[in-house]
Amino acid sequence: MIRKNSAPKAVSKLRGQKSSSGTLISSPSQTLRSVDRVLPAHPTLEGEGFLVHRPFPAPGMLHLDPFLMLDEMGPAVLPPGEAKGAPNHPHRGFETVTYLLEGEAEHHDSQGNHGVLRPGDVQWMTAGRGVIHSEMPSEKFQREGGRMHGFQLWVNLPRVDKMMKARYQEIPSKKIPEVVLAGGLARAKVIAGAVGDGVSVIETRVPIQYVDFDLQEGAEIRQPAPQNHTAFAYVYEGQGSFGADAAGQELRVERGHLVLFAHDGDLISARATGPEGLRFLLLSGQPIGEPIAQFGPFVMNTQAELEQAFWDFQSGHFL
Ligand code: MN
């Protein structure tokens, strides 16, 4: 089910409520970005049939350059033997970024790579010229069942990098910097980019920041995001308000929604408004600005390159 990209019921303009985020500016050169629109995530099935919530691509919002897709995997509680994954499939021309909150996932690929992701771990895979891989629940998780929750983000590659050699960056939870903010009421896990003096260990092909924020009720954060960069927040737990316009209006957003920021400032603001707090991913990135030719797991610049990708895959050149 795909709905129109209009503001859903869960979102309401709060009139007349002055936000502190509208009045406190970190430095004279920084301006808060307002909210362009809010996109609901649509439940859909992926791979062998596991539940994902997908804010984009959707009709009218195919890409958020440089980002091609965001899937929230679950959240789902799976009985023993019920967990499903994505068996062998190819990718070319972009990157897949997997971040697990709960559960356990295992991957194998055509080049002999193998790894297990546990809660808090990140796998940043640059498919480049091609890989064939499987992404499955681990044997232990398959046997025991449990809660599965995580994210897969697809990041496009610029033309110059589309045919680079495939590369993995596997980062265990303990290597992801965690920064305490808002006087101890907020935490940020820095997957890519930097928050304060917390700097990610991941190398990205285009400038990107990827931060997992966890705010307690009333906490507020500010995070720089260059004005020309695409920037969005995906709320996966609780509720909060984002941005603020000149009249001090805020947009209140609940879990399962993506908040796309306008290009009218260089600072993101978010505040937890409910007793259950607010957890969201903040993504921002420099747009690549090149044509996109996509068919499923192949993302190139031209139709001819897509056809070449099919030919290379069919004739075993991904192996
Ligand atoms: Mn994959």
Whole-prediction pTM value?
0.89
> In angstroms, rounded to a whole number, what is the distance separating the alpha carbons of residues 121 and 150?
10
Dihedral (CA of 36, 205, 106, 211) sign: negative
So what's the pLDDT on residue 2? 36
User: How many CB atoms are closer than 10 A to CB 11?
Assistant: 17
> Which domains, and CATH codes, for the chain?
2-305 (2.60.120.10)
- Looking at mean pLDDT, say which of 44-53, 55-64, 208-217 comes out highest: 208-217
Q: What was the pLDDT predicted at 245?
A: 58
Q: Using only the alpha carbons of the chain, give its radius of gyration.
A: 19
pLDDT for res 50: 92
Is cis: bond before 177, omega within 30 of 0?
Answer: no
Residue type, 228: N
* CB-based contact 232:283 (threshold 8 Å): yes
What is the CA(55)–ligand 1 centre distance, in A? Answer: 18
**Residues of 37-59 as b/e, b for ≥16 C-beta within 10 angstroms?**
bbbbbeeeebeeebbbbbbbbbe
Judge whether residue 12 has pLDDT over 70.
Answer: no
**pLDDT tens-digit series, residues 283-300:** 999 999 999 999 989 999
Both tokens of 187, joined, read 């935490």
- Predicted confidence at residue 252, as pLDDT, reads 86
Residue 52 alpha carbon to ligand 1 centre in Å: 14
How does DSSP classify residue 205? Answer: S
Q: 146 C-alpha to center of ligand 1: Å?
A: 22
Distance CA 140, CA 157 (A): 34
Provide the mean pLDDT of the chain: 90
Cα 95 to ligand 1 centroid, rounded to whole Å? 9
Contact criterion met (CB below 8 Å) for 250 and 309: no
Residue 217 Cα to ligand 1 midpoint, Å, equals 36
Distance between Cα 154 and ligand 1 center (Å) = 10
* Ligand 1 centroid to residue 108 C-alpha, Å: 10
């004279």: which residue's tokens?
28
Give the distance (Å) from ligand 1 centre to CA of residue 122: 14
